[in-house]
Amino acid sequence: MMSIPVIADGNLALFLDVDGTLLEIAETPGAVIVPESLKTLLGELSVRLDGALALVSGRSVQSLDALFAPLRFTAAGVHGCERRETTGCIIRPKIDAVKFASARDELAVWVRQHPGSLLEDKGYALALHYRRAPELETSAQARVVSLLSRMGGDYELQRGKAVFEIRPAGFSKGKAIQTFMQEPPFAGRLPVFIGDDVTDEDGFAIVNALGGLSIRVGQAGTSVATAAKYHLADVDEVIAWLRSLPLPARTRSD
């Protein structure tokens, strides 16, 4: 990967994954810690960018709000399945509630039978985590794939770091970013997307197509294939890079 070019001005549209990018990944989704310094940084960046900052996460928008309270950012949650516009309006998918509840109940039984696994209900998606029991990977995948085969084409498999997820089909982080880029205050800016996982790859591809900066977080020199053109080593480097971004010239007070 190439070195990230120097940003000449602050006319950016900034899209940020959360877990593994802004925050260190924890054993469970609820165990992450959001430093107050990060909240302050993101709040300041959002103001400096005239609101052209969005969180693009596998978490639900509700979960993001709880993590970053009292701040409420423009956001795409559940891998793009739900999207909060800058107006505050949240666009959510329509799902078959009965089919979803049945799948949730079946996975809940499986989790009770497999210590170390965890079921995360995102309201529109079901994430089966096995970080605390990596030996469950094969059986967890088989369970999710079996469920999907009975749920029809309305849902699809989303792989992630130590997680298999059932989510509505036809959505992605890339599509969410593409939609944001057609709306103010993102339209006409240089898109930047920072992520760390296979779930971010379609976002990298979209940003590349738009002539922006795609940045993957992780150790350099690994065999992981990625569409990202640039690299940051870890969460600390992400935060340092965000702090280095220039103040847009039109808002300078000096």
Among all residues, which ones are annotated catalytic? 17
Q: Give CA angle at 184 (183, 188), nearest 5°.
A: 85
Directed axis angle between helix 36-48 and helix 235-244, to 10°? 40
The DSSP H or E segment spanning 76 is strand 74-77
| 3-class SS of residue 166 | strand
133 near 114, Cβ under 8 Å?
yes
Query: Which residues, other chains included, contact 229 with Cβ-Cβ below 8 Å and sequence gap of 6+?
Result: 1, 2, 204, 208, 213, 214, 215
Q: Phi and psi dihedrals of 95, rounded to 5? A: -130, 160
Q: Are strands 155-160 and 126-129 parallel, antiparallel or unpaired?
A: unpaired
Distance (Å, rounded) from C-alpha 252 to C-alpha 80? Answer: 34
Considering Cα of 203, then 74, then 158, then 222, what sign does the dihedral take? Answer: positive
CA atoms within 13 A on the CB side of 152: 5
